[in-house]
Amino acid sequence: MDMSQYRELFFSETREHLNNLNQLVVELEQQPGNRETIDTLFREAHSLKGMAATMGFNRTAQLSHHLEDLLDGFRKTGVVPAATVDYLLAGIDLLEGLLDDMTAKSAERSIDEFLQRSPSTEVVLVAEADVSSPPQVNGNDDQSLPLVAVEVEPSDLVEPLANIEEPDAFQVLVSLAEGTVMASARGILVLRELEKFGELMSSKPDLDALRNGAPCQQIQAWLRTSLTKDHIEEALRKITDVAQVRFIDDRRREEVSREDAAKTIRVRTELLDQVVNLVGELITQRYLLNSAAAGRNWDELRQALGQTSRLVDDLHHHALQARLLPLESITGRLPRIVRDLSRKSGKKVTLRLTGSDVGIDRVVLEALTDPLVHLVRNAVDHGIAEEGTVTVSARREKDLVLVEVADDGNGMDSERLRSQAVEKGLLTAQQAENLSDRDALMLVCQPGFSTAAEITETSGRGVGMDVVKSAVVNLGGRLDILSAPGEGSRFQLRLPLSIAIIKILLVRCAGHPLAIPITRIDRTLGLPTAEIERSGSERVFRLGEEVLSLVSLPQLLGLPEPAVGEITFVILTELQGRKIGLEVDCFIGQREAFVKNLGFPLNHLPGLCGATVEGDGRVVFIVDPQPLLENRPLLSSN
Amino acid sequence: MPLRVMVVDDALFMRNILKEIFVRAGYEVVAEAENGERARELYRETKPDLVTMDIVMPKKSGIEALQEIMADDPNACVVMVSALGQDSLVLEAVESGARDFIVKPFKEEKVLEIVKRIMQ
Amino acid sequence: MALILIFTLAEETYGLEIEAIQEVVEKPALHFVPRADGALLGAINFHGQILSLVDLPRLLGFDSEQLDHRRVVLTAEYQSLALAVTLVQRIVKLDLAALQSNLTGESKNAARGVVDMDGTLVNLLDLDEILKQLRKLYQ
């Protein structure tokens, strides 16, 4: 059985289990006798063990088994001794490390040292907090610890991914360079090369998938060969666009993107069913449209079109739903962070999480992870003096999600912020005076602004607040700060529920960068300028048998014509069923863009259908050539 | 003996660029064709070591020409020259036996790199 | 008494209630807008929102060669337009009860009326009129 297809699911579920473990142990620390929590903890460790063993990750399985046994002991006594909490947390940290190893496809790190530190349940029972006692091995009791090896029923064990029995067979990973064009064709050539080395047992993607144009960033292949790895690597590296060649178990290169695993999300089956149903309806609708068009029945056609657009809206809505993840997928780590921070600082801090089930777009959540941790750290470090509560909450507000990090600590003094801004020369006294209290609080988001008397090891308010703010703004959201001396602070992040992402081609047009939706592009051409001919007042060029008009995009946009080069860069688009060439200065590249809607009067300019903000803050407008072409002054086309 | 190359493209401009690249690299351009039909005839006559083949051409497309050449000579070394966005055509060509492909606009080094690798 | 932002358009002094203003932004980067012409100078990135920057003197037919680098961003009620003016001066307190409505009925300068500020006549900007003008231009 091929287990590789389950890898991603395994990783994402393991991550969830680890989050839960962290959270539960922190809960237990507060209520060491909560049986229900101990039971849940035990079950979490148990499922983790089963999953890891199934995948053939033996050390992870062994460590989970060890923790499971330890927890089982606590189930019997009904209490988790305070002194074992750190040990459990260290175990979870080690599991996280192992997860990193597995994701990076490198060998699992050693767990021996950790197992040797194991506190025996018996010792703990007798002498509650004595962790300094030497590790004990107890042979009489079935539940005794530590465990040296895990026994897993052979039927559960499948061929582990990380090593394979046959000595001359191994797994090779070929990564293509970013931006590789025609990756599936390139993939076929890579497979063909691999076949030359010996027996290509299987690959992912395989030849059929590639023939069907499957996306191909990386090829994973099982190879049986007598050739050396160096020889194979050398040959593969010569292929155009091959960026990296790796062999599994090769620990020299470990930087496999961990992002891949995080990109897997689970979708409720009902949602998937709804999507499938909608697509089914659309297919039916297509027949209706076809027959209405064939019969030139305009009423029917209009009706069918109306129905189609309703279905497409529905489908869009459902597809966006599939991107939503609960906030808790990123708040899981917070209890642990707060616990560690309050320990270090000697403050007594309680963390409250509400609205963790509120769904937020995956992309938004990813970008929110660090800012949220930062805000919580700040709240503990600077908000709370000795003792207090940090609340992280989320709720829907129409099309927005409000995520709030609040503390009941010192609060911020806008007057003090004003005077500090003046001292630092960020504002003149007059400007500071004119600042509203709200705006004065926002001063902490100025790069380098810090109000903490001393900057602690973990955070300094102001250090990084600018990062928090720009992360929120870049997502199309807003940051507000509500605070007053003695009244605590509230950092409110208003974020879009879902965001629109489209694929665009960036081009330069009369010197300006512009974006064109990929859906409007048939293909791009580099046309020798010498091949452009005149036909009446029009410029035309030949493409195979066809003679196509060439229209200048700068001219359509009322911009000066760029200088003529040896090659004319052309975007082939379609206007009312006819192909037409659009000339631009040059192509910059393809990318996915987060579309921002435009306000009046930008949204009334012909051809502008949105804008996107580049990494450097530059605004690039998205141009739909269709309306521009439709409205261009008609030229004679003899 | 220098490598013998045939260049197939309907645009003289492209043929000239490719010819210059090959000549500068010390290869011999033994034939050039401006459409697929001519390409097949010239392949039979000159039996070049390598062919660069444009895809979209009048009379007979590069794909058809490739398929016919491969049928005549299963060991033929044909490299497709395509534009961005012709993914499915390139896939078909690779399926039909093309050894590699070059995407326009291309750089001299890239062309030579591909040719050298194939001819090894 | 109302708080009024005082600014000039060419030689004329204008005022705008601060309730209509979201923010006065110092020198935001101006982004190129394809098809922008005349009174539309370009766009600015205002806290992640893409806003139109309007050349107010030009829209109202004034001859103003120079523009202040500070931009007046209106509230959402007024489409969050960003306005470029000749010179942003200061915020003052004025008694709008003393506002004299535009007796001449002349609306070309988009003033709701004039009010005296220590001997200078301040035209109170009529934002509805501004929007009307823009709608005429960008249908």
In order, the DSSP letters of A107-148 are PPPP-HHHHHTPPPHHHHHHSTT-TTSPP----S-TT-S---
Rounded Cα–Cα distance for residues C104 and A417 (Å) = 49
Binned at pLDDT 50, 70 and 90, residue A450 comes out as low
Q: Measured between CB atoms, does C34 come within 8 Å of chain A?
A: yes
Do A488 and A388 lie in one domain? The reply is yes
Which of the listed ranges A140-149, A275-284, A360-369 does the model predict with the highest average pLDDT? A275-284
pTM: 0.42
CB pairs under 8 A between A and C: 78
Rounded Cα–Cα distance for residues A30 and A37 (Å) = 11
Rounded Cα–Cα distance for residues A55 and A41 (Å) = 21
Least confident of A159-173, A330-344, B71-85: A159-173
Rounded Cα–Cα distance for residues C72 and C129 (Å) = 17
Q: Which CATH number characterizes residue A223's domain?
A: 3.30.70.1110
- Bond from prior residue into A160 cis (ω within 30 degrees of 0): no
Which domains, from first to last, does chain C contain? 2-137 (2.40.50.180)
Which of the listed ranges A119-133, A228-242, A455-469 does the model predict with the highest average pLDDT? A228-242
Binned at pLDDT 50, 70 and 90, residue A319 comes out as confident
Do A236 and A311 lie in one domain? The reply is no
A519 to chain B nearest CA, in Å?
Answer: 12
User: Considering the domain boundaries, does residue A636 fall inside one?
Assistant: no
CB C57, CB C86: distance < 8 Å: yes
Does residue A157 surpass a pLDDT of 60?
A: no
CB A601, CB A571: distance < 8 Å: no
DSSP character for A380?
I
Query: For residue A388, what are the β-bridge partners?
Result: A349
Q: Measured between CB atoms, does C88 come within 8 Å of chain A?
A: no
Complex confidence, ipTM: 0.89
Over residues A116-131, mean pLDDT: 49
User: Dihedral angle at the C-alpha atoms of C60, C64, C65, C69, nearest 10 degrees?
Assistant: -90
Do A306 and A344 lie in one domain? The reply is no
| Spatial CB neighbours of A131, under 8 Å, sequence gap ≥ 6 | A83, A84, A86, A87, A119
Least confident of A246-255, A622-631, B1-10: A246-255
Does residue B59 surpass a pLDDT of 60?
A: yes
Judging by beta carbons within 10 Å of its beta carbon (0-12, 13-18, 19+), is residue A94 exposed, middle or buried? buried
Share of chain A above pLDDT 70, in %: 83
pLDDT, residue C56, reads: 94
Do A401 and A525 lie in one domain? The reply is no
Can chain A be said to touch chain B, i.e. do they have 3 or more Cβ pairs within 8 angstroms?
Answer: yes
The answer to whether the CB atoms of A509 and C50 lie below 8 A apart is no
More confident residue, A615 or A13: A13
Rounded Cα–Cα distance for residues B19 and A633 (Å) = 42
| Spatial CB neighbours of A579, under 8 Å, sequence gap ≥ 6 | A522, A543, A546, A548, A572, A573
pLDDT, residue B22, reads: 92
Out of A439, A466, A496, pick the residue that ends a domain.
A496
Q: How many domains does chain B have?
A: 1
CB A211, CB A145: distance < 8 Å: no
User: Considering the domain boundaries, does residue A584 fall inside one?
Assistant: yes
Rounded Cα–Cα distance for residues A629 and A623 (Å) = 11
A240 to chain B nearest CA, in Å?
Answer: 7
CB pairs under 8 A between A and B: 70
Q: What are the E-state strand segments in B9-95?
A: 28-33, 50-54, 78-83
Q: What are the E-state strand segments in chain C?
A: 2-9, 12-17, 21-26, 40-46, 49-55, 70-74, 82-84, 87-94, 100-101, 111-117, 120-125
The answer to whether the CB atoms of B87 and A544 lie below 8 A apart is no
Do A552 and A596 lie in one domain? The reply is yes
Over residues A561-584, mean pLDDT: 86
Rounded Cα–Cα distance for residues B43 and B78 (Å) = 11
Out of A469, A496, A523, pick the residue that ends a domain.
A496
Q: How many domains does chain A have?
A: 5
**Encoded tokens for A518:** 């990929």
Rounded Cα–Cα distance for residues A624 and A610 (Å) = 9
CB C71, CB C53: distance < 8 Å: yes
Judging by beta carbons within 10 Å of its beta carbon (0-12, 13-18, 19+), is residue A374 exposed, middle or buried? buried
**Encoded tokens for A523:** 């293909």
Do A125 and A244 lie in one domain? The reply is no
pLDDT in tens, A335-359: 888 888 888 888 999 999 888 888 8
pLDDT, residue A265, reads: 64
| Spatial CB neighbours of A242, under 8 Å, sequence gap ≥ 6 | A174, A175, A176, A177, A190, A236
C50: helix, strand or coil: strand
**Which residues of chain C have a CB within 8 Å of the CB of A474?**
48
- Bond from prior residue into A146 cis (ω within 30 degrees of 0): yes
Q: Starting at the edge strand that comes first in sequence, how are the strands of the sheet with A608-613 ordered?
A: A586-594, A501-509, A512-517, A619-623, A608-613
Interface test with A, best of C32, C51, C70 (most A CBs within 10 A): C32
Rounded Cα–Cα distance for residues A539 and A580 (Å) = 11
For residue B35, the chain A residue with the least C-alpha distance is A544
Rounded Cα–Cα distance for residues A240 and B101 (Å) = 9
Over residues A88-111, mean pLDDT: 87
pLDDT, residue A403, reads: 94
Binned at pLDDT 50, 70 and 90, residue A211 comes out as confident
Do A433 and A551 lie in one domain? The reply is no
User: Considering the domain boundaries, does residue A264 fall inside one?
Assistant: no
Domain that residue A582 falls in: 501-630
Q: Measured between CB atoms, does A179 come within 8 Å of chain B?
A: no
User: Considering the domain boundaries, does residue A539 fall inside one?
Assistant: yes
Does residue A5 surpass a pLDDT of 70?
A: no
Rounded Cα–Cα distance for residues A234 and A29 (Å) = 55
Rounded Cα–Cα distance for residues B23 and B7 (Å) = 12
Q: Nearest Cα to A446, choosing from A479, A402, A405, A407? A: A479
Domain that residue B48 falls in: 4-119
pLDDT in tens, A25-56: 888 888 888 888 888 888 888 878 877 877 77
Residue type, A125: L
Does residue C8 surpass a pLDDT of 90?
A: yes
pLDDT, residue A27, reads: 84
CA torsion sign, A371 to A373 to A375 to A378?
A: negative
Query: For residue A325, what are the β-bridge partners?
Result: A360
Does residue C58 surpass a pLDDT of 70?
A: yes
Q: Starting at the edge strand that comes first in sequence, how are the strands of the sheet with C70-74 ordered?
A: C21-26, C70-74, C82-84, C49-55, C40-46
Share of chain C above pLDDT 70, in %: 95
Do A295 and A375 lie in one domain? The reply is no
Do A333 and A348 lie in one domain? The reply is yes
Rounded Cα–Cα distance for residues A443 and A413 (Å) = 11
Mean pLDDT of chain A, nearest integer: 78
DSSP H or E run through B84? none
Q: Nearest Cα to A64, choosing from A37, A35, A95? A: A95
User: Considering the domain boundaries, does residue A635 fall inside one?
Assistant: no
What is the maximal distance between C-alpha atoms in chain C? 44
Rounded Cα–Cα distance for residues A22 and A353 (Å) = 15
**Alpha helices, DSSP H, located in chain C:** 56-59, 127-137
A552 to chain C nearest CA, in Å?
Answer: 14
Do A358 and A487 lie in one domain? The reply is yes
Q: Which CATH number characterizes residue B44's domain?
A: 3.40.50.2300
Do A146 and A85 lie in one domain? The reply is yes
Does residue A550 surpass a pLDDT of 90?
A: yes
Does residue A453 surpass a pLDDT of 70?
A: no
User: Considering the domain boundaries, does residue A637 fall inside one?
Assistant: no
For residue A521, the chain B residue with the least C-alpha distance is B85
Rounded Cα–Cα distance for residues A516 and A621 (Å) = 9
Q: Which CATH number characterizes residue A600's domain?
A: 2.40.50.180
**Phi-psi category of residue A238: left, alpha or beta, with phi > 0 → left and psi -120 to 50 → alpha:** alpha
Does residue A3 surpass a pLDDT of 70?
A: no
Binned at pLDDT 50, 70 and 90, residue A182 comes out as confident
pLDDT, residue A307, reads: 86
Q: Nearest Cα to A333, choosing from A358, A359, A369? A: A369
User: Considering the domain boundaries, does residue A11 fall inside one?
Assistant: yes
Q: Nearest Cα to A201, choosing from A229, A172, A161, A176? A: A172
Binned at pLDDT 50, 70 and 90, residue C104 comes out as low
CB A589, CB A521: distance < 8 Å: no
Can chain C be said to touch chain B, i.e. do they have 3 or more Cβ pairs within 8 angstroms?
Answer: no
The answer to whether the CB atoms of C48 and A509 lie below 8 A apart is no
Does residue A161 surpass a pLDDT of 90?
A: no
**Encoded tokens for A264:** 């897997």
A635: helix, strand or coil: coil
